[in-house]
Structure 1
């Protein structure tokens, strides 16, 4: 790469030149920042990504600038993130396509990210609901779209939930924010449809499943034990009994449970075994045309208790996946949770401060590139081969 930005003397090496993560960041930025028309913008993008990777503590624009260039750099980086007009969406698309080249996508995972903040000076700050903890907090609520494959777990897209007064005047529910984010990301990337994993225990089950069906995007959703369903297999208990809760459906098929071994995402190399059962069901939708065949999956970590996890999926064509395959697919959500808990702070995903929504999107896009560079350097995957 020509005219590569260098850290100023005494500033400390950011993403230490010659290190694997430094090289991964250079290769990645060279491939995914091509939508930035001007060379100086591409250089600023590389600077910002390397600054995110090496700046200790909070990754504010000021702290990144101090790490790599001082006051003049502070102004230019601030303009690059908050005052420029470049579009972040082509970079997110290029990032997904780059990763797909040699570590093909297994599943998208939608992961909420609560960003506690005080004051009124950041975009989207207000009283928010954290669907992971099922509680209110003050700050921002974002939903990340994570690319997961055998070797890679990294965010590639984002959507920020905005209070009504900051949005289009109509507001957006958490369900709409999460689902719209992944549908837009999947459509823009242009990859073949892959399963979407998300948690809808505390948001609308039927409306969410219908939106994915309308978009022809397969989904594997964690649902509440109280979600009401119809048993469609005449050979199973509960058939013809009308709508009952998902927990009741699984309680009646406990004898069908089988043990399944899977890799623990929190403790790699430590296999675990849980009990699993799957049942064909329908949602009791008022519109007959929407009563599609689905699979309800239950997982038991303790065979004497209620199922610990319940999942609903339309991955039934051309044939339903086995309960074991479905269970192992759900574990990608655990991989994302474990990775995000460790890495969100390392690349500053929560660290943007400002009133500009476009600035927020540019910051988390650059942070996603930094996250991917770190992930690729740690796994040793050589991605992007053959990317035009």
Structure 2
């Protein structure tokens, strides 16, 4: 869950803004906005997210602009206007398909601590990473992840029954899955929407970096659309081994950790790039063909070891049963790229800075901050090349 900090220095000044990149991206993203003043405000807001000092509130963005009337105008544009964030996110997804072709989509939870209780979606939650109850928003981001960079593309905000009731009828710009009560339904709805935006481009595998999901439920949810997935699994997950490489375990139901320990002779070293340090790392990986109860078909259980003599550090389940274990581990590690880019890019462009009770305002701000994140990532790539 995104509440940690990775100490990796950024390679660009936080205020560096390449004008051609901003102009080109904003022209494409805001083409769906019907009025020229809306398109102008959209680009102005993105530039403010990139350049304004401190917290990226509407007030601070307006102060960067230097116009006394800008605060009210930008507030109306984000909170009270009627423009739909969906086409803007769709344009961002298509832009990234060309500029930073994704290898996967990563679903990542995001907890946003808030001092008060008035911001939309804020509830009292226990955050394991912090070890305490905090007032916070909980959201799910769908990230487009390329070879070395990632960018958020679509979002869902968790709404408790209290907040769903306070919002009343579903806002015209909201998606039906926004009102879902489970993390799997929230994530799956956002992924399906992104699939529609991507059009005829190859569908990407989805890495669901979400704790506590039932792999069989994930398989049932994604099987009709043909979306391949990788999902973390608990060591206690019960699975039935159907792998001919382990004849002594055939058709036995075992805990995932127990089965992987029995498969230690199948382990192979795999090198992967750690985005938090930029250095290569080596893990031991083994994969076993299994059939979890109530799953629509066979799956692959794979585990990672850092200590050859210990238990697996982590394990995952995927429906890509023909994939190489090394490729699957590198795919699962894409979540670490998202974690690093959230810390070093998203936070700096104000992704978590929206305050207020407006459901629509949260989505519009998050959409514009995702665009600012894309500008920063594209600029960094250009500087490195």
Q: TM-score when scaled to structure 1?
A: 0.87
User: More displaced, 120-129 or 174-183?
Assistant: 174-183
- The structural deviation recorded for 1:112 is 0.8
After superposition, the C-alpha distances for 1:204-234 in whole angstroms (9 at most, x for unaligned) are: 3322221111222110111111121111124
The question of whether the paired residues in 2 share the 8 Å contact of 1:164 and 1:171 is answered with no
Unaligned runs of 5+ in 1: 1-13, 383-388
Paired with 1:180 and 1:283, the residues of 2 have a C-alpha distance of 24
The question of whether the paired residues in 2 share the 8 Å contact of 1:112 and 1:131 is answered with no
The question of whether the paired residues in 2 share the 8 Å contact of 1:15 and 1:21 is answered with no
User: More displaced, 92-101 or 136-145?
Assistant: 136-145
The question of whether the paired residues in 2 share the 8 Å contact of 1:129 and 1:141 is answered with no
Paired with 1:220 and 1:135, the residues of 2 have a C-alpha distance of 29
- Quick one: structure 1 residues 179 and 201, their matched pair in 2 at CA, closer, same or farther if it must change by over 3 Å? same
Alignment correspondent of 2:46: 49
Paired with 2:302 and 2:81, the residues of 1 have a C-alpha distance of 47
- Quick one: structure 1 residues 249 and 181, their matched pair in 2 at CA, closer, same or farther if it must change by over 3 Å? same
Where does 1:230-379 land on structure 2 (aligned, <5 Å)? 230-236=240-246, 237-241=248-252, 243-268=253-278, 270-285=279-294, 290-316=295-321, 320-379=322-381
The answer on 1:67 being equivalent to 2:76 is no
Paired with 2:379 and 2:255, the residues of 1 have a C-alpha distance of 46
- The structural deviation recorded for 1:266 is 1.2
Alignment correspondent of 1:188: 197
SS at match of 1:354: coil
Alignment correspondent of 2:224: 214
- The structural deviation recorded for 1:149 is 1.0
Alignment correspondent of 1:79: 76
Where does 1:158-173 land on structure 2 (aligned, <5 Å)? 158-167=155-164, 172-173=181-182
Paired with 1:98 and 1:39, the residues of 2 have a C-alpha distance of 21
User: More displaced, 243-252 or 76-85?
Assistant: 243-252
After TM superposition, which residue ranges in structure 1, 4 or more long, deviate above 4 angstroms? 129-136, 168-171
- Quick one: structure 1 residues 204 and 58, their matched pair in 2 at CA, closer, same or farther if it must change by over 3 Å? same
After superposition, the C-alpha distances for 1:261-283 in whole angstroms (9 at most, x for unaligned) are: 12121111x21111010111111
Structure with the higher fraction of residues in helix conformation: 2
- The structural deviation recorded for 1:183 is 2.6
Aligned residues: 358
Unaligned runs of 5+ in 2: 1-12, 169-178
After superposition, the C-alpha distances for 1:287-312 in whole angstroms (9 at most, x for unaligned) are: xxx44111111110111111112111
